[in-house]
Amino acid sequence: MPEFPEFLQTDNYVLWALIGVSVAMVFTLEAVQAAVEGAWPHQRRPSTMLPHERSAQSVWGLVAIAVIGGGLLLISNLAVVLWQDIEHSETLVAGGVLLGVSWLLFLMVSIDRFGIRRYITSIGPAAPIAVLVVLAMSIVMLSLSIIDIWPPGEEFRDSLPIISIWLEQANRSRSR
């Protein structure tokens, strides 16, 4: 039976975190897709909403974009940590926790399975702005984390032979 590389062993918590975040991102994309095709639950029947509740509608769209961007940054961070077999930084953990809290709040308001939407929307635009601020902090932390662990370009070329082949073909076509 072939032996898996050490970073693909089932006791590696970074691998499980990467799998979990990737699955959560799929559900988030599904929620955003449903929002594009139709109104989010907190955006339905704006005529029945109070004026301060209506003013928060556009901010939730920005929150959705920030959640997707932050989720992709977290996936990238975890993938590089797993690939390079390095220790995660405290910045990555703090950014991931802030993103997770914001992500969970966004999904709870969007899906409205727990009845939290009514309480959050009654606050008005302050709630989505607060979530957006926390998301911005997490995106900054995750960006700083990936800058610290990003490997040099040579490692990418060496790890993926298809890139080397593509670069060689591009150089040959330029020289002709």
Confidence tier at 136 by pLDDT (50, 70, 90): very high
pLDDT in tens, 52-87: 555 666 677 788 889 999 999 999 999 999 888 888
Counting the structural domains of the chain, the total is 1
C-alpha to C-alpha distance for 28 and 30, rounded to whole angstroms:
5
Instruction: Tell whether the model's pLDDT for residue 45 goes beyond 60.
Output: no
Residue linked to tokens 């799929």: 26
Model confidence over 165-175: pLDDT tens digits? Answer: 777 777 888 77
pLDDT, mean over the chain: 79
Q: Is residue 66 part of a domain?
A: yes
CA end-to-end distance (rounded Å), the chain: 47
The confidence score (pLDDT) of residue 170 equals 79
Q: Is residue 174 part of a domain?
A: no
Q: Is 114 exposed, middle or buried (0-12, 13-18, 19+ CB in 10 A)?
A: exposed
Q: Per residue in 90-121, pLDDT tens?
A: 999 999 999 999 988 888 777 766 677 777 77
> Is residue 168 included in any domain, yes or no?
no
Residue 157 lies in a domain: no
Is 95 within the bounds of a domain?
yes
47 assigned to some structural domain: yes
Position 39 confidence tier, pLDDT thresholds 50, 70, 90: low
Which structural domain, as residue segments, surrounds residue 102?
Answer: 6-151
Residue 10 in domain: yes
